[in-house]
Amino acid sequence: MQRATGVLRILGSFTQRCAPSSSATPSRFQAMNSRRKRNSVRKAAAIEDLVEPRKVKHVTQAAAGMEEWIGSLNNAAIHMALDEFMRRPMVRQLAKENGINDKLFIRAFKSFREYCTPEDLSSVDPGLLILMSDISKGGKDCEMLYPFFLDHSKQVFPHLEAMDDLRIISDLTRPHNWYPEARSITRKIFFHAGPTNSGKTYHALKRFGEAKSAVFCGPLKLLATEVFNRTNALGIPCDLVTGEERRFAKDNHHPSQHLSSTVEMLSTQMRVEVVVIDEIQMLRDEQRGWAWTRALLGAAADEIHLCGEPAAIEIVKKLLEPIGETVEVRYYDRKSPLTIADRAIESYSNIEPGDCIVCFSKRAVFFNSKKLEENGIKPAVIYGDLPPGTKLAQAAKFNDPDDECNVLVATDAIGMGLNLNIRRVIFNSCTRQTELLPTYAALQIAGRAGRFGTAYANGVATTMRKEDLGTLKTILAEKVEPITNVGIAPTYDQIETFSFHLPQASFVRLLDLFVSVCSVSDHFFICTVYDMRELAVLIDQVPLPLKVRYTFCTSPLNTDDKRTAAVFVKMARRFATGQALTYEWLMDMLEWPPKPASTLSELSLLEQNYEVLDQYMWLSMRFPDMLPDEPRVREASKILDKMIQDGVEGFMSLLAVGPGDNSDSKEKRGSRSSEEKLAKLTGASEKPARKSSILEALLKRTDISEEDLDQLREELNKKKKKP
Ligand SMILES: Nc1ncnc2c1ncn2[C@@H]1O[C@H](COP(=O)(O)OP(=O)(O)OP(=O)(O)O)[C@@H](O)[C@H]1O
Ligand SMILES: [Mg+2]
């Protein structure tokens, strides 16, 4: 079914309840979702909209005897010649052939006219003046101005000169040729395909353990750490590499033959026997998809083991076709049954041990936790912003049969990887941001219920509200569409060569130009460089070498929060001065030591501080000389993680204080709407209706979310503004 857009889609979502085929992907963090949303509306701009015209200087010294040559030539005569020149179809055609389309032509011609008609004519190129003079006397045709115009245009828009080179550099049509090490091997590719909880990763890890040398590439730090711990526990020495951390089974002089890493960290130069690439369907991710494509095409191993959704099989085969590699597919069935309940939960009194309420905003997590508390249930809590230690501690508490805490409230951060003893997954809603959940995301989340080998082998999926149950059933019954396009991203070398041809362009402009000019073949899309660009904008004025700037901009920092963004800029500024980013300097900026959280805003502040420390560790891995205090910062991050853990433990008292003022307005809206929805479903007495508009009345009668309502309002306003 085609995805309807705008108002139609929103209205459709509550009248027909059709499940659209969305491009959203399962993600860890809510923040990533919001960024993805923005990305989905962002398109590569045309190059003519990106380039800034440069001013062309006049000659400072007039040629001797100039007056004699040009005779009675004046500005009026020049304007006439130029008007005629501009009207000639041949001129437009030649311009197009030289990469000057209509839009650029107008801008270049304006500049050319200004250049040709200054107050003092003697400052114009003498050759051009003589030609003008001849044209005005009727001795030459105005089309002869073209070489001068072209030359001028290239000075105004330097990219015109380098366009052919830029196209070659930004040709991303044959990415398999970027990995000579992998291309020197005839690799065997195995695809472990199946639904969630079918033992895909289990089987791939078996080969990982048996091999003499192997790398595991996981989608998340937590998963990579789990494989690292498990492998070492089995007596196989295994190292760990994530963006922020390098751990050795022995020490850095004795690297192990086994390595567990996040997918972005895979070295395509490292030759091993086996590489496992988990969650291969993440190829379709708008932000991170490039990392899976790179791992698939670039892993230098005899055997590649891919684990993931069957929806990725065909595209993987197509990507490997030009290399001549074939894929052996191994199908698995779910190891334990998963059923969809016939009834929604409807009331918190129906919550049972082993239940997990999955929410799509932090606010909704807080809200549901509060409601559970009011019903005498103390839940474990997991959301994306929490540090790994806290997440693991909360997961362990929930999993521990002896712990009184046996209900979990989480965001879809649990959608991938964490092993949780969930019996029943309860969807708090069927929309994420304003979009209906895509089938594959809903399947991933629902699949968390009933993990093989846990206390609750038989999983159940249901919804909080009665109205959502039908929607969930429809979504889950839809076929997952095969993946048709995978992400790809430019390498640093490509950006660097690009900058060589455009030395005046800022990094932000370079990125924009690259995306505008680059070519990709069928099956690929260029991963939106939105996150990178967002960071690049922040430090565009900070004088950093290109490589440093590029590295800073590839860091996985979430800049949605202004404070974190400000710290990022300060780090870049200090780096630019050549002074080391020391522990003392960093901690001074963060006003260390932190205070334990007594409100949700304070908890959020601790989370932001944790993100800053994480950023320090990330940069420190890449610039150890400039950020020399990684060990001390890591210690501090552990303290902070513990403090956040305590904060989450005392969550209920924080909730009692109130939501604080730190959350974004979207989340506030989300909370208000869930409060209203909850009042409806529990039959709690509603406050006198604040019926300020027909739209809000609509909201009360349907299950349209407040976010949908806002969008609807915006679209209607836009319509009104249009004549
Ligand atoms: N043959 C087996 N023997 C024992 N345990 C198994 C076997 N297969 C799977 N398991 C266990 O079942 C659980 C689920 O398996 P696994 O994580 O491999 O599933 P998956 O298909 O990768 O799921 P997901 O799509 O959620 O990643 C794990 O705890 C795993 O150790
Ligand atoms: Mg798996």
DSSP 220-272: SHHHHHHHHHHHHHTT--EEEE-SS-EE-SS-TTS--SEEEEEGGG--TT--E
Indicate whether 415 belongs to any domain.
yes
Residue of 722, 708, 720 whose CA lies nearest to 6: 708
Query: Same domain for 74 and 206?
Result: no
Query: Same domain for 312 and 179?
Result: yes
Tokens 């993987």, located at residue:
316
Q: Is the CB of 199 under 6 A from ligand 1?
A: yes
Q: Is the CB of 201 under 6 A from ligand 1?
A: yes
- d(CA 444, ligand 1 centre) in Å: 14
User: Which of 461, 477, 493 is the C-terminal boundary of a domain?
Assistant: 477
**Ligand 1 pocket test: which of 191, 192, 197 has the largest number of ligand atoms within 8 Å of its C-beta?**
197
**Ligand 1, atom nearest to 452 Cα:** 12
Percent of the chain with pLDDT over 90: 57
Start-to-end C-alpha separation, the chain: 32
Residue whose Cα lies nearest atom 14 of ligand 1: it is 197
CATH of the domain at 610: 1.20.58.1080
Indicate whether 15 belongs to any domain.
no
Interface ipTM above 0.95: yes
Q: Please state the rounded mean pLDDT for residues 342-362.
A: 95
Q: What is the pLDDT of residue 625?
A: 96
User: Which of 450, 477, 504 is the C-terminal boundary of a domain?
Assistant: 477
**Ligand 1 pocket test: which of 190, 192, 201, 227 has the largest number of ligand atoms within 8 Å of its C-beta?**
201
- d(CA 198, ligand 1 centre) in Å: 6
pLDDT band at 213 (very low <50, low <70, confident <90, very high): very high
- d(CA 212, ligand 1 centre) in Å: 23
CATH of the domain at 81: 1.10.1740.140
pLDDT band at 558 (very low <50, low <70, confident <90, very high): confident
Q: Is the CB of 452 under 6 A from ligand 1?
A: yes
Statement: residue 237 has pLDDT above 50: yes
- d(CA 361, ligand 1 centre) in Å: 28
Ligand that lies nearest to the alpha carbon of residue 198, given by its number in the listed order: 1
CATH of the domain at 426: 3.40.50.300
Query: Same domain for 266 and 133?
Result: no
pLDDT band at 664 (very low <50, low <70, confident <90, very high): very low
Statement: residue 681 has pLDDT above 80: no
Indicate whether 129 belongs to any domain.
yes
User: Do the Cβ atoms of 19 and 12 come closer than 8 Å?
Assistant: no
Statement: residue 431 has pLDDT above 50: yes
Q: Is the CB of 331 under 6 A from ligand 1?
A: no
Residue whose Cα lies nearest atom 26 of ligand 1: it is 196
Indicate whether 184 belongs to any domain.
yes
Q: What is the pLDDT of residue 517?
A: 86
- d(CA 497, ligand 1 centre) in Å: 45
User: Do the Cβ atoms of 279 and 25 come closer than 8 Å?
Assistant: no
Q: Looking at the chain, how many residues does it have?
A: 723
Ligand that lies nearest to the alpha carbon of residue 444, given by its number in the listed order: 1
**Ligand 1 pocket test: which of 207, 335, 454 has the largest number of ligand atoms within 8 Å of its C-beta?**
335
User: Which of 438, 458, 477 is the C-terminal boundary of a domain?
Assistant: 477
Query: Same domain for 313 and 423?
Result: no
Average pLDDT, the chain: 83
- d(CA 47, ligand 2 centre) in Å: 42
Indicate whether 303 belongs to any domain.
yes
Query: Same domain for 186 and 197?
Result: yes
Q: What is the pLDDT of residue 20?
A: 26
Indicate whether 355 belongs to any domain.
yes
Number of domains in the chain: 5
Query: Same domain for 195 and 124?
Result: no
Query: Same domain for 584 and 562?
Result: yes
Indicate whether 234 belongs to any domain.
yes
Q: Please state the rounded mean pLDDT for residues 334-354.
A: 93
Query: Same domain for 319 and 224?
Result: yes
Statement: residue 680 has pLDDT above 90: no
pLDDT band at 446 (very low <50, low <70, confident <90, very high): very high
Q: How many Å apart are CA 353 and CA 405, to the nearest integer?
A: 8
Q: Please state the rounded mean pLDDT for residues 91-114.
A: 91
Q: How many CB atoms lie within 10 A of CB 578?
A: 7
Q: How many Å apart are CA 653 and CA 659, to the nearest integer?
A: 11
Q: What is the pLDDT of residue 169?
A: 84
- φ, ψ of residue 143 to 5 degrees: the values are -65, -20
Indicate whether 549 belongs to any domain.
yes
Q: Please state the rounded mean pLDDT for residues 641-656.
A: 82
Q: What is the pLDDT of residue 532?
A: 87
Query: Same domain for 146 and 253?
Result: no
- d(CA 453, ligand 2 centre) in Å: 14
Rg (CA), the chain: 30
- d(CA 563, ligand 2 centre) in Å: 36
Ligand that lies nearest to the alpha carbon of residue 422, given by its number in the listed order: 1
Residue whose Cα lies nearest atom 7 of ligand 1: it is 199
Q: Is the CB of 281 under 6 A from ligand 1?
A: no
Residues 6+ apart with CB under 8 A from 694: none
Domain range for 389 is 338-477
pTM: 0.77
pLDDT single digits (tens) 175-210:
999 999 999 999 999 999 999 889 999 999 999 999
DSSP label of 53:
P
Query: Same domain for 293 and 355?
Result: no
Centroid of chain to Cα 227: 25
Query: Same domain for 458 and 559?
Result: no
Statement: residue 315 has pLDDT above 90: yes
Query: Same domain for 265 and 320?
Result: yes
- d(CA 442, ligand 1 centre) in Å: 19
**Could you write out the DSSP letters of every residue in 645-687?**
HHHHHTHHHHHHH---S-S-HHHHHHHHHHHHHHHHHHTPPPP
Residue of 1, 4, 30, 161 whose CA lies nearest to 560: 30
**Could you write out the DSSP letters of every residue in 54-80?**
PPPPPPSSPPTTHHHHHTT--HHHHHH
Q: How many Å apart are CA 240 and CA 249, to the nearest integer?
A: 8
